[in-house]
Amino acid sequence: MRVFYTKQITVYRLNDSSSKETYLENGFIRGAIMPLTAESAFLTEGNPAQSYKLFTDYESDLKVTDKISYEGTDYTITGIQQFDFGAMRRKEALIQKFNS
């Protein structure tokens, strides 16, 4: 699966020590971002025009509250699943395009 992880994506983590919502850079991961089908977006209560899925290594450090950025577009992680199937071992994250 790693052959498909061609995009370098910046991860931002919510800063707990601040009284307001701020994110700090938490490093980089490699992955692939693909749009969700309208059916999948509907099942996850997402907007089909704004919903995507991130595929990355199983060991990637991601949390549901993280934001990611790729080529100037920001996304918010809304869900994470981990699959441990030998060569198919991966982490998938549901992401929403962040408008602001």
Assign 4 to helix, strand or coil: helix
Mean pLDDT by 10 residues, the chain (100 residues): 80 82 92 80 62 92 94 93 87 85
Could you give the C-alpha distances from 62 to 29, 42, 43, 93, in angstroms and in order?
9, 24, 22, 9
Which residue, 79, 63, 80, is CA-closest to 24? 63
Structural domain of 17: 2-97
Contact partners, residue 93, CB within 8 Å, separation at least 6? 53, 54, 56, 62, 77, 79, 80, 81
Q: What is the pLDDT, as a whole number, of residue 41?
A: 57
0.85 surpassed by pTM: no
Q: What is the pLDDT, as a whole number, of residue 73?
A: 93
Return the CATH number at 31.
2.40.10.270
> In total, how many domains does the chain have?
1
